[in-house]
Amino acid sequence: MIIVMQKNASTEQVNQVGEKLQEKGFKVHVSEGVERTIIGAIGNRTQAIMEFIEMLAGVEKAVPVLQPFKLASKEFKSEPTLVKVKDTVIGGEQFQFIAGPCAVESREKYLEIAQLVKELGATMLRGGAFKPRTSPYSFQGLEKEGLEILAEAREITGLPVITEIMDPRMIELVADYADVLQVGARNMQNFFLLKELGKVDKPILLKRGPSATIEEWIMAAEYIISSGNDQVVMCERGIRTFETYTRNTLDLSAVPLIKQLTHLPIIVDPSHGTGKWRLVEPMALAAVGAGCDGLMIEVHQRPGEALSDGPQSLTPQHFGALVRKVKGIITSFTECK
């Protein structure tokens, strides 16, 4: 349930309500909004408990949350969550261009593409150091060396870096180098990993699983938030359907749905969503129209030589053209407000 505190409720009153809830076996999460404080209480809710809580000093009302996800819901927090990554904010007025190759292939190549995408408008860098692949014989990434290259690219460009985390045992290592930890599609329901990421003081980018429903995806975010980390960014990257012409089916209806159901920001990855570089730009523009907070685009200086996902990677030239078109759309939206 959600306990809405009165506008003038004191810190002491908020703490008292939290203590009473904990005494009754509830897990408590406090969200301080612009006008009032909201307390999320997860546990065995009864009408008698709700009536008891409403009698406490400073409480305006207690509201049951009907959705299976509680802390990610808009009922718990009506204001959009802004995820701060150094001087960059995901959500709100800023639009993010997250760009880079699928994998960090070498120091020379990565530093070159990092500088190129920054000059073309990228606001954050992506790149896999640990690469989960369908085949055990495919390129698996440079691992720690890849993390060191990502950190060097950040120092040179000034842009934050995002990379994937696959194993709870690797969290401390990856967090030492990356600014945002990405949960890949294959790990969306790795609940042990999600709970451990809830204890990390780093933003988490949560990709949608290839067969996950919207509710399952949000529930995965709930695992992270309920474990203590509310800095979660959702990422739609396509789902598996009967269609075989594209790598995945990019579900752009997920963008307004996530906005309606949750307070979390959402970005779109049209590279994995389509698997074909010629489809990346039109789907990226459609994603902007749907209201996403950013795009994650795979860019490689020579896609034909890429060690992974070359067919869905844009060249720097095509990425620059996409950035210009997206900025034009955003400008048009702003002028229409």
Cβ–Cβ < 8 Å for 285, 326 = yes
pLDDT given at position 247: 96
Q: How would residue 337 be classed by pLDDT, with cut points 50, 70 and 90?
A: low
What tens digit of pLDDT does each residue of 291-318 get?
999 999 999 999 999 999 999 999 999 9
What tens digit of pLDDT does each residue of 25-58 get?
998 988 887 778 999 898 888 889 999 999 999 9
How is residue 299 annotated by DSSP? B
Q: What three-state secondary structure class fits 78? A: coil
What CATH code would you report for 83-336?
A: 3.20.20.70
Q: Which residues make Cβ contacts (< 8 Å) with residue 80, sequence separation at least 6?
A: 91, 92, 263, 265
Q: What three-state secondary structure class fits 283? A: helix
Homologous superfamily assigned to 2-63: Phospho-2-dehydro-3-deoxyheptonate aldolase; domain 1 (3.30.70.1140)
pLDDT given at position 228: 92
Q: Which residues make Cβ contacts (< 8 Å) with residue 34, sequence separation at least 6?
A: 79
What tens digit of pLDDT does each residue of 116-169 get?
999 999 999 999 998 777 777 677 789 999 999 999 999 999 999 999 999 999
Of 263, 180, 193, nearest to 223 by C-alpha is 193
Q: What is the residue extent of each domain of the chain?
A: 2-63, 83-336
286 pLDDT more than 80: yes
**pTM for this model (two decimals):** 0.91
